Structures are given as structure tokens and as C-alpha cells.
Chain A
Amino acid sequence: MRSGVAIFPGSNCDRDIVVAIKKITPKAPLKLWHKDTEFPNLDLIVIPGGFSFGDYLRCGALAARSPIIRNIKNHVSRGGSLLGICNGFQILIETGILPGSLIRNKNLLFTCKETILEIQNTIKSPFTEGFQIGEQIKIPVAHNEGNYFAPKPLLDELNNEGRIAFKYVKGSDFDNKVAYNPNGSSNDIAGILSPNGKVLGMMPHPERAINSLHGGTDGLRFLTKCIEHIVG
């Protein structure tokens, strides 16, 4: 599989996703610089987490106007797969590739914790195909603006079209006093898909759940299945 990781000034999870992908497939992802306007056709592009351009304006707003975005849009129209994690999700929203908005967490605090995600009944997508509907995976979040917000008609549309990839749910050792939804997202949405299922934006960090000693390996399992289904 040919993959690439888009790097903006201020990206800080680029190394982590490269490490995760290298655990799954021998071919290391290409590092794509935000000013790159030419790169080979790829099967998967990942936009990693971080604070692109410091996120001093709206998160992802400046990155969404970088030269590389045009190529990423071309990649999507060619039917390539695209995964935006955390700041990457925020960038996808700012580019208009995915709809809705990501606003400040409900508690107005940066929140770093483990969350339980439940795979939803989606349209055909390489990102969910490897899972049973209702399957749960444990993946951490770490963000300040991850509260997915959209008007009701859009939420209905996402729901009806099977474009909600996963939701935050109560896990088995759920503590009633702690909110299972870490940021107050509408309908507990943790990730959404494009109409063709090939683009996924998610707030949780699968690349941080690849070690049995810390946070478990559900993230590695998730990324492995995604890559299997992207390769086909």
C-alpha cells in the first residue's frame, strides 16, 4: 500500500502515525510537506493531529488554505482514501471535504483521556468494513476543540446516509459520574465519513493505542483493518 502523511508546521502526531503504519505495512508512508504540490498517486493520505499553524485562528483554518490541500482534494476525487485524525479532522472540516464544525469542548477544557467508540452501521467504507456493527474499541482523545456540531438536518442526513462512523459510548467499566462523551459532541459523534465512505475524520487517536503497555492495541487493530480494506 502506498500511503502518505501530510505535515503542516505545528503538526505533532506525524511521527506517531508513521510508527503505527510501519507496524502494519513494510512500506513507510511518504512524508508530504504542506507546500508540496506534486506527489505520486497514493492509496491513503493521513492528516495527523497537532496544532497546525498554532491553531491561533480557528483550528485547521490556515492549514486548509495550504498548497497541499488542492492535491489532497484531487486525491479524494480520484477515489483515494483519506483519514483525518484530531487536528486532521478539524482541517478536513475547514477544507469543506467533510461537513459540520468542531467547536470547543463542552467543559471548555483540553481533555486527554481514553474513550470507548462503538462502530456504527455505515455505508460501505474501508474504515468500518472490518468491524461488526456495535463493536467497541478503546481509543484515547486529546483535544480542546472536538465537540462535533451541526444543524439538525445535517445530523439527520449523516445518520440516514450511514455516515456516522463511530460514537462515544459507555464502556463496560463505566463510571456514572464521568461523562463518556468527552467533548459534548452532538449525538455522541466521534467520527464521520464522506458520501463515498472513503474519507474519515475522527477526533480520537488510533495511533496512540498501539502498545499493550499503554492504552491497549485497539488502535493498531483499527488501523490494520483500515489498511487491509483500502488495499482490498
Chain B
Amino acid sequence: MTVSNNKLYEDNKFEYMVQQESNLESALEMGLTKEEYNLICTKIKKIPNKTELGIFSAMFSEHCSYKSSKKWLKTMPTEASHVIQGPGENAGVIDIGDGLAAIFKIESHNHPSFIEPYQGSATGVGGILRDVFTMGARPIALLNALRFGSASKPLTKHLLSGVVKGIGGYGNCIGIPTVGGETNFDKSYDGNILVNAMAVGLADKDKIFYSAATGANNPVIYVGAKTGRDGIHGATMASAEFTDSSSEKRPTVQVGDPFTGKLLLEACLELMNTDAVLSIQDMGAAGLTSSSVEMASKGSLGMFLDLDLVPTREEQMTSYEIMLSESQERMLMILKPGSENKAKLIFDKWDLDFAVIGKVTDTGRLVLNKNGFEACNIPINPLVEDAPEYDRPYEIINNKKIIDLNKIVINKTINEILVKVFKNPNMASKKWIWEQYDCSVMGDTILSSGQSDAAIVKIHGTENHNSLGKGLAMTTDCTPRYVKANPFEGGMQAVCEAARNIAASGAKPLAITNNLNFGNPEKKHIMGEIVGAIKGISKAASYLNTPIVSGNVSLYNETNGNGILPTPVIGMVGIINKVENCLGVNSEEGNTLLVLGQSEEFVEGWISSSIYQEIINNEFDGAPPPINLENEKEIIDIILKLNEEKLITAAHDISDGGLLPTICEMLFKNNLGIDLNLPDLLSKKDSKDILLHSWCFGEDQGRVIVATKNLNKVKLLLKKYNIKFFILGEVNSSSNLNIKNVTTISINDIKNLYENTLTSIMC
């Protein structure tokens, strides 16, 4: 070998290595199965080199291909007259009138957040924001649905504190308000926390950007941050179970840079205001691989990329590393030919990299050059179309067991139970968390965490002389223990609770984004949870006309074989035509509280799988409270009707914990009290009576408490529409919840617990 040849080899040593033919062993290492490897070799009619194999393994990963869930995802309702774009794009798009569209999606960053809580959650937020602004929307709000292990564990404290800092670190810095979400604790998440981030954005209906590539020879542009070696094979990591050594996977976690994210957001929106952008796709999971493949595939075209032109952070990166890096804050665009200079000026202004790295082709192939060699030449179709789709065996649990009240041994008074309820971090205020999030930047937040059942953000610029403007309502919901006990009912419940929450804020439910978090789908009962939940979600979503327009699936949330509670999180968006009509949860002195969806004759509450049951028996057992979709729809409609007539001033959905804790939450803010009415049948019971307890703490669905100053008018309307209701009493200034002849509860004492339980755990 001559000196110059030797130098040529040294310079390209690593690239040579990834261009060697792969073998089964390397395929297995990358998370592919033997069958999948053989399929790849057949489809591309050659043995792939390591770069090509890496690209296949990323695209075939559960995270990118949805191979276990696709069969069932296809069955979900995704259409309605107000849907502009359903699943399949970066985010879902719905028509909200006035020429505007709401664009939103929820996405998980579970695996990385467990390994590296700050960066994992921060990049989760960054990623979901990019999904939304890629489509031309300015993001206006963030929410997050979090699940952690037992609150008493030191590891939980570490993870919670890191995740909250990471979410705040990204959202606060980029300047998008974090307005809502939910946080739960359960030991099943000890080894697998869930971090689901949702972003909502606004765009002009006729200015929405899609990802399908167009026009052979059009330039392919790389913009944003440089590519580094972080997050390589993150999508594959996120598609595997954890073991004790999972912390070794820290290098597969991406690092977030919200400052660059902010610059990218502004630069992209500025460029989208011109006519230069033909299509655009963010580089999320599987980075340049999935963005280029998806763009080409959706346009039924091919793509040529010269990887030597990709801006990199590190030297001697190989084609394999460049294609599989998950460095953040990057976008791939196809521009109208001739507009490159105009576009570059905008990116120069924002000090961001801008590089023409290739072109669209009509070959249907992905061709990559690196160091002057062809590093990859594979057909695009098999990457997407031939990605495996499994019909995994499943078994759906259909738990209908009802707990016999007479067999419950009561050892606590109502007061003692209420204390236990609010000492439970699942029930207590999450103020410690949401005070770390900027909830009011952008100046349009109307209601955020802790103020109402759903957050409300005003649609900027819709104010006029007779209204303060239109608003979007948003919430995330799921009760995993219900889904565990009965996936179908639990799936329906998550949708109904979300819809009730939207309605209780005064808004009309419109559409759903969902985040399906489950364990290992290769296990029959887990696959049953997935299928059951999807069927339940579909049935309720279809009935309530709130189609699923976007979503994400996160499987293999297991550690050493132990799976999480099934957690299909529903993110729902609704619309309120006048934000001044929004409803919070706080009642005022003189208001009458009524529970809707519950009759005067109702006495026996649903105790199975309730928070109350856990307090009394230390476990959840039996079926979740059943859902009656007809009732749910009636309740949603009547709340909107009452609100439209300006007859109610507050509303609060009854969910975890039942009636009594819900009443307490409506009294906390203003330190108020109430003399509670009881149904006749319960009027002579004592503080340890099981029937009375079930009435106070049962978790029957389809109920909302409203506050009114116009009791008579409300009663008339409820009777007219044949809605069951029960008058709970008048709110007074006593700061006592008084149950006549039974007990008196100090609202101040309970509020104290509610406000400080989580803080005292965390500080």
C-alpha cells in the first residue's frame, strides 16, 4: 500500500467499516429478528451494509413502525367534518372556524426520561413542539401527562424533580406556556416512568405544511442544529425492555437545546410566511433516517443525500452515525427551486445552519454518499411498506366483579378517610410541579393548572368589541387502574373523563390525540390491554364525535419482566367561543352546588377499583365504574347548555376519590363551607356507615358538580332535558363541610393537606 493509499484508508477507516456487509449477528444487536433480517435481504435483493441495516433497524423499530399496534390503530375513528388531517402526519389538524386550525399531538419520552430525566423530558418537549411547528403552527400551549413509581422512593423523587426541571427547562426557555396535565404515582412505574408531552398550536387553515416530498430534482435542505453523536439508535432503545443495566444506555439519550429550538421555531415560521417551503419534516426519532424516508415515501419518490454536506458537530462521523443520530433541533425541508438564497438569509439572521444536502429523485431509492463513496442504496418502499405488521395474540380481561359492600370492614370515619385521600400524592395538589412551569408567557393563558378541569388558552387576535375572544380548551386524562381491571371500560372512561373535563371548563370537546403506553406486546395479556383499550377509546371517541387525529405508541415499558399499568393517555382539545364564559372549579359564597348525572334516589356508590377501596383495603379490586355513553353525552351537552345561558359559575368533574373530595376542591380556594344535603335513605347513618361512605367516595362516572346563583332556572332546564340531579347545598363562609348529624370537616385542615402533601414529599 502506498503512503497516499494508507492515508486514504486512515481518513476513511470508520466509513469503510460501516460499509462492510452486515450479518445476522449485527442485525440481532440492532434489535431486529432473524425473520426481519431475512425479509430485508430478500426485499433489497442484497446483503445490506451496516449503514443500510441501521436504517432498516430504526425504521422497523416498534417506535417508528408501530408493528405491534398498527393493525389496531387502523380501526380507530379518525374522521369528522372538522378534521383537516388525521394520523399519519407530524400532528393532527382540526378546523376551529374563522379560517383557523388547531394542530396538536402528544408524544412519549418514557425510556430516555428514566435513563436521564432532565434531558429525556426536555427533548420530549422539544420534539413535540417541532412536530407542531413543522406543520406551520405557532405552538401556544404545552401539557404533560406524567407517571412515576411510589412517591416514597428516593428514586421517584430524583426522577420527578429531574423530569419537572427538564420540562420547565425547555418550555420556559422557548417561551411556550405549560398550562396543564396530570401526574400520578404507582409502584408499577418504579422501573419505567412515563413522560408524555402534548403541544397545541395554531395556524391558518390554508397554510398548513405537510411532509410529502414533491418534484424530482427539488433541493433537500438541512436546517437547525449540527448533527452530533447523541441519541444514536434512540428509537431502538425506546423499543426495548429495561434491565438492571439500562443506565448504560445513557449515551442513547438526546440532549436538548431550547435556545436553538426557539431560533428554529422563529426561523421556520418566518420562512413559512414566504412561498419557499414545499414540504418539511422534523428530525425526531431516528433522525435523518426517518425524516428522509418518510418524506420520500409519502411523495412516492426517492432521495439522494450527500452526507458530506450535513453540518456536523464532530469529526469523522460515519454515514451510520449521521443517519441514526437523534441530535435535536433539526429539520429537513424541500424548497421551491431557486428560493435557496432567500431561505438561507432567514436562517443566517437566526444564526442557524442551512445546507443544501441533496435532491429529490424519481428513483424510489434512498441513495447516500459519504466521503465520495456510495454508503447506501436501498429501495424506500420496503422501509415503510414492508415494515413488519404483527397480529399478536391477545387476551382481553373483562373484569366485571363488583365488590360486595357488606363484606367491607370499615375502620375509618369520613374525616379520617378524607385526610387519607388528600395525603395521597395522586389526589393532592400538584402545585409543587406546576409552579416550576411558566404558565403565562405569550399572554393568552386564561385558565391553567389547578384552576379548572381543562386549561383554556385564548386564540390570539380573536378579541373584538363584544368578546374577549375564542379559546382552546385542553386536557390529558387516563385512570390506569381502571384500564388494568378492564381495558375496554378503562379506555372508554379515559375518553369520557377528558370530554367531561373539557365541558366543565365551558368548552365543546372536538378531537383527541392519544399516547398509548403499555408493557411488552409479545405477552398475550398486555396485547389484550392494548386491543381492549383501543376498542374502548374508539367506541367512546366515535360516540362523542371526538376523533383521534394524532398519537403515539410506547410499548415495552417493562423492567425485568414487570410491566406498567396500562396507560392510554387521552389528550383532548375543545373550543370555547367566548373565553369570558370559561368555567373554573372554585365556587363562591351563596352558590348552590348540584351534582348532575346523579339522582336523589342514588345511594350506593361504586367502590370497586376506587381510591376509597385502596384506603380501606390497601388494594384495588374489581371492575372499574361502568361507562354509559348516552349519559356522558347528556351531561356534556347540559353543561354547555347551562353555561351558554350563563346559569352556572363553576363546574368540576367527579373522578378519582368521588363526590366528597370533589366538593372539597370546589371550596378550597376561597376557604368556604357547605351544609351538605344527604339523600333521605342516608340521613340517619353514622360516620362509619358503608352505604354513606360509598355515596361520599364512590367513583360512578358521568357526574359533574356545578355551582349556580340561579337554582330555580337551573332546575327548570334540568327537568326540561330530563337530567338527573341532586342538590348538595348552599356554599357558605363557615369553612366547614358539615354533614348534618354525622360529622363536620374543617376545610382549612383538609386544604392544608391538599396543598402541602406533594411539597412535603419533595422538599
Contacts and interface: CB of A to CB of B under 8 A. Distances in A.
Do A and B associate with each other? yes
Interface of A: 9-10, 12-13, 15-16, 19-20, 49-51, 53-56, 109-113, 140, 142, 144, 177, 205, 207-208, 210-211, 213-215
Interface string B431-466: 000111111111101110000000000000000000
B500 to A, nearest CB: 22
A112 B448 CA distance: 12
B173 A213 contact: no
B173 A111 contact: no
Contact of A9 (B168, B263, B579): B263
Contacts of B580: 213
A208 B443 contact: yes
A16 B442 contact: yes
Nearest to A19: B443
A51 B174 CA distance: 8
Interface stretch (B182-190, B242-250, B254-262, B481-489): B254-262
Contact of B437 (A112, A140, A207, A211): A112
B394 interface: no
Nearest to A18: B443
B443 A51 contact: no
A213 B263 contact: no
Contact of A214 (B260, B438, B445): B445
B172 interface: yes
B128 interface: no
Given A10-B259, A16-B442, A55 B756 contact: no
A109 B263 CA distance: 25
B468 interface: yes
Contact of B439 (A54, A55, A112): A112
B478 interface: no
Interface residues of B, number: 35
A110 B164 CA distance: 10
A111 B446 contact: no
Given A51-B258, A213-B582, A110 B438 contact: yes
Contacts of B437: 110, 112
A53 B446 contact: no
B435 A12 contact: no
Contact of B446 (A12, A19, A144, A214): A214
Contact of A54 (B173, B442, B445): B173
Contacts of B263: 9-10
B269 to A, nearest CB: 12
Given A109-B165, A208-B443, A214-B445, 13 more contacts: A9-B259, A9-B262, A10-B259, A10-B262, A12-B441, A15-B443, A54-B258, A111-B436, A112-B434, A142-B438, A177-B755, A177-B756, A213-B580
B16 interface: no
A182 to B, nearest CB: 9
Given A9-B351, A213-B446, A53 B436 contact: no
B716 to A, nearest CB: 29
A211 B172 CA distance: 21
B175 interface: yes
Contacts of B260: 54
A145 to B, nearest CB: 12
Contacts of A109: 165, 435-436
Given A10-B173, A213-B468, A214-B445, A208 B259 contact: no
B443 A210 contact: yes
Contacts of B262: 9-10, 12, 51
A55 B436 CA distance: 17
B468 A16 contact: no
Given A12-B174, A213-B468, A112 B259 contact: no
Contacts, number: 90
Interface in B154-182: 165, 168-169, 172-175
Contacts of A50: 175
Contact of A112 (B440, B442, B443, B582): B440
A215 B579 CA distance: 14
A54 B257 contact: yes
Residue among B435, B579, B752 with most chain A CB within 10 A: B435
Which residue of A12, A56, A208 has the most chain B CB atoms within 10 A of its CB atom? A12
Given A54-B173, A213-B579, A207 B443 contact: yes
A80 B174 CA distance: 30
B438 A215 contact: no
B258 A112 contact: no
A12 B257 contact: no
A33 to B, nearest CB: 8
A209 to B, nearest CB: 9
6 contacts: A10-B259, A51-B175, A54-B259, A54-B260, A56-B259, A177-B755
Nearest to B669: A173
A112 B173 contact: no
A13 B441 contact: yes
Contacts of B445: 214
A210 B444 CA distance: 10
Contacts of B582: 213
B174 A140 contact: no
A12 B579 CA distance: 24
Contacts of A9: 259, 262-263, 350-351
Interface in B224-277: 257-260, 262-263
A109 B441 CA distance: 17
Interface in B35-70: none
Contact of B440 (A19, A56, A208): A208
A113 B756 CA distance: 16
Contacts of A213: 446, 468, 579-580, 582
Contacts of A112: 172, 434-440
A177 B165 CA distance: 23
A20 B165 CA distance: 29
Nearest to A53: B259
Nearest to A140: B440
A194 to B, nearest CB: 27
Contacts of B441: 12-13, 16, 49, 142, 208
Contacts of A215: 440
Interface in B201-220: none
B442 A15 contact: yes
Contacts of B755: 177
B443 A142 contact: no
A104 B447 CA distance: 28
Contacts of B752: 177
Interface string B347-384: 00011000000000000000000000000000000000
B259 A13 contact: no
A54 B350 CA distance: 13
Nearest to A210: B443
A115 to B, nearest CB: 12
Nearest to A109: B436
Contacts of B169: 110
Contacts of B443: 15-16, 19-20, 207-208, 210-211
The 5 A-B pairs with the shortest beta carbon distances in the complex, nearest first, are A12-B175, A54-B259, A16-B443, A51-B173, A142-B438
Chain B CB count within 10 A is highest, among A56, A112, A113, A215, for A112
Interface in B58-112: none
A19 to B, nearest CB: 6
Nearest to B173: A51
B175 A13 contact: yes
A15 B138 CA distance: 13
A110 B439 CA distance: 12
A80 B350 CA distance: 29
A51 B259 contact: yes
Given A12-B174, A54-B259, A214 B351 contact: no
